[in-house]
Every structure is written in structure tokens, then in C-alpha cells.
Amino acid sequence: MNKKTWIGIAIFVVIVIAIILLTMFSKGDGKNIFNGNLETVYVATGGGKEDFLNDENVQKILRDKYKLDVVFDTWSNGKTITQPLIREAVGLGNQAIASQLKSDSSIGISSSGVTKYDALFTSDQRFYDYYKLRPDKSKNEADRYTVLDGGFTLNTPIVIYSWKSVVDALVKEGIVTEDDGVYYISNMTKLMNYILEGKKWSDIGLKNLYGTINIASTDPVTSSPGATYYGLLLSVLSEGQVTDSAVTKNLPKLKEFYIKSGYMNNTPADLFERYLKTGMGGEPMIVDYEKSIIDFANSNPNGFAQVKDEIRILYPAPTSWNSHCFAVFTEAGQKLYKAFDDPEIQQIAWEKYGFRTGITGGTYDVSSIGIGVPQTISSTVSSLKMDNYNKLIDYLK
């Protein structure tokens, strides 16, 4: 064989060896020896942000720049209060302990052999605030880690999605106002009264829509988005002063509103899909989060192009934030919390998934979305505390 043939064989062998080495040292999840020594961080994670946390570029930044191998385990918000926050409580970690947990209620975060978490990433501020309190043993609440640091990390406001013709009619009724291409529900009380009075769509000039005026939402009894929305309504009825007496006074009116709302979806994704697929005739108005339209525009640009001229986003004035809050338990958790301040991660959070990382809006270019979205959200009410939410949900049941 000549010299060129030997060189070709040598190059081929080197390539084969490289492939074998990469396969041997890979963990099967894209992480390998070339990432260096990664520190594993376990995070108990509420829903609503799975796609963002699993985003390939986000994961790459966490590995390459911060040397973190982050494991996000799915938890329901309520379970973080009632169950010990260990991986075994969701069937992971030490399988012997996971099996033992089914019959042994004494196992907790301080038990030997359990797999502890470095952080909690709730999908609702009320659970973050509540977790920082001492557990109420009279309610069989589990022991908790000490929260060393944390706060608002991913935010999206409650909005109402509607359609051009509906919004034009609401503008004439003095319920909606437009400011620089953004539509605001400036008289939420009037809109609620229209619903309570049983006004029909035809009463406000929408002859092609049948039935009474309604805003579809997920069920507040079973859904966190629905609960956040009804918390906002309670704040509106209480004129921002959610005292015990105001709650007692307004709950009957809110329950009447709940009953008139009729059938409710259990998940916001199902409701938003129904809104898009059935159009104005099927869902004239729905409650959801702002992030849904941005996520849709990125995941289905052709579909978004077909409907964006007819879709209208209405911002209640005031509105309420859905805040995904991060609670730090360990030094490793602290490193991850700081990593979420990374400009690249924040840009991905907004541009691809619609999360505002600054509580009023950040430095995003909202004009790139091509639909009426405000640069900042300034008219808001605070999220209800856990005890008021519990009173609200128990009353609606």
C-alpha cells in the first residue's frame, strides 16, 4: 500500500477510536467527560415550565458555563407541603425507602439514606411563601428545609384572550380601552356584572354569538391557573383590600360567578388549544397566561401567522402575576438560583417560552412578537395568601 492509503487508514482508525471513547464515557443524556466535573443539583419542581427547563440550550449553558448537572423532579405544589421533600416521595432515589414510605409516615427529610433536594421551584407564589413558614402539625404537614435564599424567577401575568370583533364591542361598552396597541380591561367590575346579570353577546351587538357573556377558565378548585384568576377576581371585588371581612362579603358573589361560568377545563393547555381551534364561535373569551401566546408563536409559527391578526390579548387592570419562585436549601441550590440571572437564559425564557424574568418586564423587545403585548406590567395586585386561597377554594367547592 502506498503512503496515502496508510494515512487514510490511520485517520479512519482515529475516528473509530474517538467514537468508541465518546460512547463509553457518555452518560446517555448528552453529558460526557468533555463537560468536566459537573455538580448534581436536585430540584423539586412545580409544573408549567417543563419545556423551558428541558430546553437544550438552557441545559447546555448550565453544564458548560456553570458546571451544573440539574435534575428537575416533577412535584405538585400541594404535595410539597404534605409530603417530605425527598426524591423517594415521588418514587425516585433510594427505592427501598420509596417502598417503605408507603407504610411508614415517620420518614422525613432528616431520615438516614433519603435523597434530599437542593432547591424547590414552585409554580405559584403562595406555595413559596407558605413553604417558608413553620409546618402546621395539626394539619399533618411535613417538616421542611430551611430556606436560605430565593424569590421570583419566572413570571407571567394573567390575561384574557379574545377576538377582534369581541374586543371592538367591549371597547364600545366602555369595558376595554386601547393604549399604544395594547388592550386593557379598564372596568373589570362592569364586565363581571354583565356576566352575573346574564347579559347576552347579542346585547352588546354581537348577533352572531349565541348565549350569555362568559369568560372560560380552568377550574379554580382543581387548577392553579384557575385559582390565580379567581384570586384576582376576589381582589377586584375587594377593591384591593383583601381583609377577612372583605373575603366573607364577596365570596357569595364569586360563587355565583363560578356557577354561571359552567363547564371548565382542568388544564390551561387544553383550554388554550380549544380557544385556537374553535375560534370566536367556540371560545369568545378565555383566561390564561401571557406566556401561552409567545410559546405558541414559537412552536407553531405557521398557525400563529393564520390567527394573529384576529387574536386580541386583554390585560386586566389590575392583573395578577403567576410567579414561579425558587427556594434555595443548599450551596448547590444557590449556584443554580444565581445561574437563572444569566442573560442568555433569561433571553431564552422570554423569546421562546414567554416568561418575564424581571417582575415588571425586563429589557425585552416585545414588538418582535407582532401582537399587542406591553413592555412592562405596572397595574397589578398581590397574590393572595394561602389562608385566603383556602377559604376561596373551600367556599367554591
Residue 227 belongs to domain with CATH number = 3.40.190.10
If asked whether residues 251 and 141 sit together in one domain, one would say no
E strands, the chain, in order: 39-45, 68-74, 119-121, 149-163, 176-179, 182-185, 286-289, 311-316, 319-328, 380-381
Q: Is residue 265 part of a domain?
A: yes
If asked whether residues 240 and 379 sit together in one domain, one would say yes
How many residues comprise the chain? 397
Q: How does pLDDT run across 113-146, given as a tens digit for each residue?
A: 999 999 999 999 999 999 999 999 999 999 999 9
Q: Are 242 and 234 in contact (CB under 8 A)?
A: yes
CA distance to 108, 216, 222, 234, 331, per residue, from 267 (Å): 31, 12, 9, 21, 35
**CA dist., res. 188 & res. 332, Å (int):** 44
Q: How does pLDDT run across 165-189, given as a tens digit for each residue?
A: 999 999 999 999 999 999 999 999 9
Residue 19, φ and ψ in degrees, nearest 5 = -65, -45
If asked whether residues 253 and 201 sit together in one domain, one would say yes
Helix axis angle, 244-260 relative to 188-196, nearest 10°?
Answer: 50
Residue pointed to by grid coordinates 419542581: 45
Beta bridge partners of 160: 287, 314
Q: Is residue 366 part of a domain?
A: no
Q: Containing domain of residue 22, as a range?
A: 3-154
User: Sign of the C-alpha dihedral, residues 379, 280, 225, 250?
Assistant: positive
If asked whether residues 115 and 238 sit together in one domain, one would say no
Q: Which is nearest to 162 in space by CA: 150, 173, 170, 154?
A: 170
Q: Is residue 247 part of a domain?
A: yes
If asked whether residues 288 and 205 sit together in one domain, one would say yes
Q: Are 25 and 33 in contact (CB under 8 A)?
A: yes
Q: Distance from first CA to last CA of the chain, Å, rounded? A: 84
Q: Among 154, 178, 195, where does a domain finish?
A: 154
If asked whether residues 281 and 194 sit together in one domain, one would say yes
Q: Among 135, 154, 173, where does a domain finish?
A: 154
If asked whether residues 169 and 116 sit together in one domain, one would say no
**CA dist., res. 171 & res. 284, Å (int):** 15
Q: Are 148 and 329 in contact (CB under 8 A)?
A: yes
pTM (predicted TM-score):
0.86
If one compares 4 and 109, the residue with the highest pLDDT of the two is 109
Confidence of residue 349 (pLDDT cuts 50, 70, 90): very high
- Predicted confidence at residue 32, as pLDDT, reads 47
If asked whether residues 125 and 184 sit together in one domain, one would say no
Q: Which of 67-76, 193-202, 259-268 has the lowest mean pLDDT?
A: 259-268
Q: Is residue 350 part of a domain?
A: no
Q: How does pLDDT run across 15-45, given as a tens digit for each residue?
A: 656 555 555 444 444 444 445 589 999 999 9
- The three cell numbers of residue 73 are 423532579
Q: Is residue 333 part of a domain?
A: no
Q: Which is nearest to 294 in space by CA: 345, 370, 362?
A: 370
Provide the number of structural domains found in the chain: 2
Q: Is residue 106 part of a domain?
A: yes
Q: Which is nearest to 374 in space by CA: 387, 357, 392, 360?
A: 360
If asked whether residues 110 and 216 sit together in one domain, one would say no
If asked whether residues 128 and 80 sit together in one domain, one would say yes
If asked whether residues 168 and 149 sit together in one domain, one would say no
Q: Is residue 307 part of a domain?
A: yes
- The radius of gyration of the chain from alpha carbons, rounded to an integer in Å, stands at 25
Beta strand 182-185 pairing with 311-316: parallel
Q: Are 220 and 320 in contact (CB under 8 A)?
A: no
**CA dist., res. 64 & res. 268, Å (int):** 34
Q: Is residue 352 part of a domain?
A: no
Q: Among 136, 154, 172, where does a domain finish?
A: 154
Q: Which is nearest to 158 in space by CA: 22, 65, 285?
A: 285
CA distance to 23, 119, 143, 370, per residue, from 16 (Å): 11, 41, 53, 49
Q: Which of 69-83, 115-129, 132-146, 224-238 has the lowest mean pLDDT?
A: 224-238
